[in-house]
Amino acid sequence: MLAPMIVLFYFLIIRPQQKHAKELENFRSSLKVGDAIVTIGGVHGTVTEVASDAVTVEVAKGVRLKFERAAIARMQRVAVEGTAA
């Protein structure tokens, strides 16, 4: 009875979490100049420089911030004209 519960726990909790972490790492390693991103803190901006461990993001004209790659949460969603993102 315990073995099936452990297997179920693995497939419902651990494996999806590992898959998500791997996808996020692949996303962060594929960042390039010009990508519109959102940080884990909610800062929206455009990637202007990519280094091995950090990314420089322009958040306003002439305002650039440097973030660790781990601080990048996702690509910015682009709003379709006439709808909210």
Question: Considering only CA atoms, which of 46, 14, 52 is closest in space to residue 33?
Answer: 46
Q: Using CA atoms in the order 74, 65, 60, 29, what is the torsion angle rounded to 10 degrees?
A: -30
Q: 32-43 pLDDT, tens per residue? A: 999 999 999 999
**Domains defined along the chain, listed by start:** 2-75 (2.30.30.30)
- Residue 43 Ramachandran class (φ > 0 left, ψ -120 to 50 alpha, else beta): beta
Q: Is the pTM of this model over 0.75?
A: no
Q: What is the pLDDT of residue 61?
A: 95
Mean pLDDT of 23-28: 92
CB atoms within 10 A of CB 5: 9
Q: What is the tens place of the pLDDT at every residue in 44-85?
A: 999 999 998 999 999 999 999 999 999 999 998 765 555 555
